[in-house]
Structure 1
């Protein structure tokens, strides 16, 4: 079949690799001008590890393993360590693999069969599913017809909006915003990664390999803003941290101004009753964003991509049956991941000084000092 994949993130690349390796013609459309690889290291967990092995990717992934999360510690306003983040608090096991986002993207890109078509600087503008195929108009003005369309375009999915309706119908805001900012002046290494809290805020530095990222999180009710307007996002972020001068907060705020690819978004989940309609199907965050608090977004991208590709192969052209079986297999993983978030916000971004002190005391009592 001739299949369009919207989005070249982890889910989009994974499904492109798996579909193309099974003989489908695959086109990937990506709004950015290049593969977007910025972001903190990510985890591959549980059955996603076996999926990576079946796709022939696990060896390359393990070769690039990093250990950022296990070196994370909370510090006070002077930078003095007050507690470590025990891995059991975030559900890590010895089999999990943490890898830099750019490394995983490169593993996937290297695995793409040569006949996969990548359309950068473009995006889906409209879809018309006539039952026999899907006519797609791109923002560039080009048009094409596909047998199937896979929406793998993230939390703010255009494909989901066009087919299922506005994001507000399916998004559940968890009360936080997060930003990742490049810190070229910091040295990436295996040193401990400090995280500083003050009420309703977190500021931290994550070092890995030869890179360092600033992490900024704050509590807030939903904010109305254009998620494609970088200047507006930077203003929201700067305003949220502007009045606090302790630790390295001013330095991190200064770095916000200089990062041309700053990541900023709400911590929100996506809950849909179904992930497919006609010849269009959603995977990854477009279908079921669980947020970074779950630590399982990449694992869900891998299992969903693999299940979809497997079921399309088994269904021998019956895409409806394939979509239903994909959803039935993926749904338990999604429900577990979304439900695992629990009190993650209280662990990472306590709302008061008293809550911060109680969190630190609890972690020290568990041997995480």
Structure 2
């Protein structure tokens, strides 16, 4: 008890010290209150919720608690902990949404938690969802959360699939399904994309589906204009790639490839075979093209036939493997030739076929390979 009193007396001094420090570096920051209720709030956030002093001081600017109304925050904490929230979850949630401590347990939290648990968000899935997307606690259960959940279940086919998708994109449960997501899904199907492929795209990259409708329509038309039909298996991958950048970025990447002597027709030919090649940054495309064409002396047609080469990391895959093959070739143990299959094989197979296999004949070969990999990483 004495320690708590001492801490409470110390808090105003800490606040003043923090204000003095912050005011010199961030003059636009609002003054920190040193009134008793603010000190009590900070004390509660530190001792009961687990926040750090700095975090508690920051949160106390948005939340004021008093000794007379502390029962509700305490009830909220007890409720959260009873539902698997660890201290890290509690801290993260309060830092994002301090107002959660003012929520009614019976009227707000309990009905939503019961619904989520009944639909598969059990164990750590529940606190992970809430801390990733605290908006769940602010949306109405009947008019927002339930309809949204039912819509996703109708599209994806099961609770399990939705849970898997929401782990990667928690906002889907509170996004506006009716005005944003549903129109995009309907547009894709109307354009001829098979429904199962729409589902596949959502599962693989959920954020794609909540683009603005005009942007989605633009991307669909852009991919169609490249010669890919919506029914084609590669269409959804090309669409994902197209939606990952704006028109300006697309043109910049095209220019990078043209600078290596590629025609627009060749670029689009490669894109249609493996759309993700243009999802890489301009710098990565430039490095990969330079290494493949100028160091490996790879034929342009070989890259067009297998654009996946452009996705490989120069530092982590291309150069380490090339260094090993160059040594083996110099010792006439293998002949590199023009085939680049060694770039495509798995790490395990490359080690077995090119490193371990010749380890006795070329002492230090493994060290060369691993050393190159480590230093370049």
TM-score (norm 2): 0.19
Task: Look at both structures and tell me which one has the larger radius of gyration over its CA atoms.
Answer: 2
- Structure with greater strand share of residues: 1
TM-score (norm 1): 0.20
Higher relative contact order (CA 8 A, sep 6+): 1
